[in-house]
């Protein structure tokens, strides 16, 4: 279903490094007035600003973070940008620029890189981001991507992880667990395909899960909605490694505890039905799955009325004193201590 049907092949050496960068970036346009000079010099130049500058970076490696047997290159490019923008939004900032470094082995053609950059460009156009620099080189194995995102925020708007306070409400945008289940579905199809390449997969029951895995969206809209609601979160983080790991970051850095209520965790119906099919616990999937790229934040209890009715948000618990620990209150009303079981790229 997702294999690359592109049969044209232009070798990268024919273009050379500078020709390649020019070729891949020539259709990108500058959309932010803060970008003074983009690709083409020793460094990119950003205009001076009265705001603070936000910088975040992520490294994505084939075989560790993505599998090209079911991740189309255009989707990979899009997702790699999302992963980075999400970190800027998690600071309550506006993402404005990215740099993109790519290394590929000689198994990749120019057409493959064009697909990757088409996804990067779609992300840039949709989120109004300028590509301002990067590096293109060869690797000895597979593809790897290193993206740095740059954003701005007024100093008084920046939201950190270490400023949650007891009694604050814990809120999450969207729903959790779908991206992880999407990965499980794709992995299963890959196994089936390897055994019987003629098998036509029926993925109609998993469309939302697969979209969340292959084409996640960073929650730029949440930052805008919060501004419209006149709510400044007391702490915020994006959900890349799973709810459990993220709430533990907020609690440990803020020196507080929390209670998360199992029955409040937002789950899509496809997550519930697919968990049943896969014989998995949906709460565990939401807690430890990761790659949701939703925003997890805390707000003062005085903001309850502004948040409670908003369909983008779910209140899933509250912050406590540190000595109360970091706990999940189960549907059976039992408290169990949360442990980070998020994804660990260093596990052997």
CA R_g for the chain? 21
Nearer to a second copy by Cβ, of 54 and 176: the residue is: 54
In this chain, which stretch among 143-151, 208-216, 320-328, 329-337 interacts with a second copy, using CB under 8 A?
143-151
Burial class (CB in 10 A: 0-12, 13-18, 19+), 275: buried
Among 76, 90, 169, 243, binds a second copy (CB under 8 A): 90
Nearest residue to 96 (alpha-carbon basis) of 22, 58, 148, 157: 148
Per the CB < 8 A criterion, the answer to whether 84 and 149 are in contact is: yes
Out of 7, 41, 323, 331, point to the residue binding a second copy (CB under 8 A): 41
Is residue 201 packed enough to be buried (19+ CB in 10 Å), middle (13-18) or exposed (0-12)?
middle
Does the protein bind a second copy through residue 157 (CB under 8 A)? Answer: no
The H or E element containing residue 23 is helix 16-25
Residues with Cβ within 8 Å of residue 153, at least 6 apart in sequence: 51, 52, 54, 91, 92, 93, 94
- Given 5, 7, 8, 140, the residue binding a second copy (CB under 8 A): 140
Interacting residue with a second copy among 80, 87, 176, 184 (CB under 8 A): 87
Strand 257-261 versus strand 326-329 pairing type = parallel
CA distance 80 to 243: 20
Residue among 4, 29, 49, 255 that touches a second copy (CB under 8 A): 49
Instruction: Decide: is 26 part of the binding site for a second copy (CB under 8 A).
Output: no
Decide whether 131 or 299 has the Cβ nearer to a second copy. Answer: 131
- Is 116 a residue that touches a second copy (CB under 8 A)? no
Part of the chain binding a second copy (CB under 8 A), chosen from 50-58, 173-181, 184-192, 256-264:
50-58
Residue 69 contacts a second copy per CB under 8 A:
no
User: Nearer Cβ to a second copy, position 148 or 167?
Assistant: 148
In the complex, what is the shortest distance from the CB of residue 79 to a second copy, in angstroms, rounded to a whole number? 15
Q: Is 192 in the site for a second copy (CB under 8 A)?
A: no
Task: Build a one-symbol-per-residue string for 305-344: x at contacts with a second copy by CB under 8 A, - elsewhere.
Answer: ---------------------------------------x
Q: Is 177 in the site for a second copy (CB under 8 A)?
A: no
Is position 158 an interface residue for a second copy (rule: CB under 8 A)? yes
Residue 233 found at the interface with a second copy (CB under 8 A) = no
Which lies closer to a second copy via its Cβ, residue 7 or residue 48? 48
Residue 155 C-beta: closest distance to a second copy, Å? 7
Q: What is d(CA 272, CA 182) in angstroms, rounded to the nearest whole number?
A: 12
Side-chain half-sphere exposure of 234, counting CA atoms within 13 A: 23
Please tell me the number of Cα atoms within 13 Å of 125 on its side-chain side.
10
Return the number of the residue (1 or 345) whose C-beta is nearest a second copy: 345
Q: Which of 3, 27, 29, 47 binds a second copy (CB under 8 A)?
A: 47
135 lines the binding site for a second copy (CB under 8 A): yes
- Beta carbons within 10 angstroms of residue 133's beta carbon: 21
DSSP letters spanning 80-141: HHHHHHHHHHTTT-EEEEEEEEEEE-TT--HHHHHHHHHHHHHHHHHHT-EEEEEEEEE-SS
| 145, 80 contact by CB (below 8 A) | yes
């Amino acid at each position: 279903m997702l294999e690359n049907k592109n049969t044209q092949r232009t070798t990268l050496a024919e273009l050379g490094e500078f020709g390649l960068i020019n070729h891949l970036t020539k259709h990108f346009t500058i959309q932010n007035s803060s970008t003074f000079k983009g690709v083409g010099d020793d460094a990119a130049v950003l205009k001076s600003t009265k705001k603070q500058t936000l910088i975040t970076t992520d490294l994505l490696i084939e075989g560790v973070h993505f599998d090209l047997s079911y991740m189309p290159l255009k989707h990979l490019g899009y997702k790699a940008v999302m992963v980075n923008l999400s970190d800027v939004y998690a600071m309550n900032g506006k993402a404005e620029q990215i740099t993109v470094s790519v290394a590929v082995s000689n198994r990749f053609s120019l057409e493959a890189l064009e697909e990757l950059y088409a996804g990067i460009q779609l992300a840039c156009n949709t989120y109004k981001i300028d590509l301002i620099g990067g590096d293109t080189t060869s690797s000895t194995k597979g593809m790897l991507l290193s993206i740095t995102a740059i954003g701005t925020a007024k100093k008084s708007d920046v939201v950190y992880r270490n400023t949650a306070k007891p009694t604050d409400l814990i809120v999450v945008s969207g729903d959790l667990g779908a991206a992880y289940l999407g990965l499980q579905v794709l992995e299963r199809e890959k196994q089936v395909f390897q055994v019987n390449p003629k098998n036509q997969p029926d993925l109609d029951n998993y469309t939302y899960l697969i979209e969340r895995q292959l084409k996640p969206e960073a929650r730029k809209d949440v930052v805008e909605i919060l501004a419209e609601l006149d709510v400044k979160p007391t702490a915020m983080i994006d959900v890349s490694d799973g709810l459990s790991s993220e709430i533990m970051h907020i609690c440990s850095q803020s020196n507080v505890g929390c209670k998360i209520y199992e029955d409040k965790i937002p789950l899509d119906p496809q997550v519930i039905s697919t968990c049943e099919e896969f014989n998995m616990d949906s709460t565990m999937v939401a807690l430890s799955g990761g790659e949701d790229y939703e925003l997890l934040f805390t707000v003062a209890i005085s903001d309850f009325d502004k948040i409670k009715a908003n369909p983008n948000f779910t209140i899933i618990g509250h912050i406590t004193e540190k000595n109360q620990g970091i706990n999940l209150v189960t549907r059976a009303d039992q408290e169990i201590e949360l442990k980070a079981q998020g994804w660990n790229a260093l596990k052997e």
